[in-house]
Structure 1
Amino acid sequence: MMGQAFVNRDRLCVLHARGLSDREIADTLGVAVNTVWRHRRAMKLDANTPSNRLSPEDVDLIRKRAGEGFTAASVAGELGVTKPAVASAARREGITFGAGRREEIRCRAEAIAAKTRSGCTQSEIAEAMGIAVTTVRKWQVRLRKRGVLPALDATPVAAVPDVPRVAAVPDVPRVAAVPPKPVAKAEPDPLDRLRDRFGAEVVQALAGIGRKGSYRRLSEVAATHSLPVKSVEGIWHRVRAA
């Protein structure tokens, strides 16, 4: 309540009219952010967001980066604004992110489906495409659910032609069948689970961070991907352990 008593509301209205956010107004007036919030709500003023202050040049850059396949988080880091600000501007201007990523996913799905139909094993597909066996297995499950690949229990059985019966030859010793050698199962990449859960970009960014200067670099990753520093630090420890 002490911060609320010493706020100049006229000055607050002027700063708000210029498009400053609550935090920027608080920094200018030297008060707490929640103090500015209480006064603004009392005066029935809407909050200013970074998306309201994006210039036409910023929107052009968002459109260009979206066409190059960049994500909203990476563009937000380049512009120095939040990810929701970039996403809101993109919706207003009809800009779509992730077109390049969707094309990459479509090509990968088609390649896995084609190799599966040709009879390649999961290990062969993983080696040819440079991905983990677990990733191939997950894609095959998705493609079967979509109907792109036939279900495992719906595989047609080839008809066996009739073979003429041959009289048994007496006194021929039977040779025991040699059991086939077990196929070594490829070890799954421990980083794949982290990529599926937290995103490949976050895991790749954290993989190259060592202990020296780690907090500063972790803070940069957190700001780029709009994540809490504490969460990024926890993901970093998992990446290092993997």
Structure 2
Amino acid sequence: MNQFADFISWLVGIVETVLAYPEPLVLIVVLALLAWQFKRASLGLFVFLGLSLVLNLGMWDNLIITLASIITSVFIALAIGIPLGILKAHNKVLDYISRPILDFMQTIPPFVYLIPALMFFGLGNVSGVIATVIFAIAPPIRLTALGIKQVNDELEEAGQAFGANWWQVLIKIELPAAMPSILMGINQCIMLSLSMVVISAMIGAGGLGKPVLRSLNIVNIGLGFEAGLGVVIIAVILDRMFDRA
């Protein structure tokens, strides 16, 4: 258990170090150019102005911690969720067993996930990341399985007719055809991770959730507004960067 917690802490630390290494303005410009290159110029401009506002409000360090937690949580959730979704699409027994479990995971309140994470891993970012992974893993599992199930049988039969094995059919036919559904699962995973990372401030996780929680405790509307604005800016950027359009 301790080794697993140390691994999560090490992973978060690496991502946080990479994000914090360049000067804030350099990172802002790089992210804006990436948004411009891969999406559109208007999104690049929003990234530049939005992140510059967060920097001006003095929330940059908290934003880096939040991004590091989100990136780590999404990476772990997708590394587990997408393969499980593939297995779920091809195995009727696993599909039948996992359906009520995923229903249960998606219906209980997010605050409930904090309790077991706190019990096993204590206060800190590790508990927040683990709770976030459990909370955000259901959409990539379900939407990956859904996308693969919706692949046209004729495409798979054509691949098999040309001698493709199971692995080749999966890589060259099923996953490309299911990519819109998989991307939707990734988008939902990112959004759920962002919401849970903020809530995780209740169990000692850092980031933008910390000043939000503090503003509630001391009734500081200005502090809460500034931190909440940072959360909204990150949410819009991540949503637009990883949508299907």
TM-score normalized by the length of structure 2: 0.28
Greater RCO, CA 8 A, separation 6+: 2
Structure with greater helix share of residues: 2
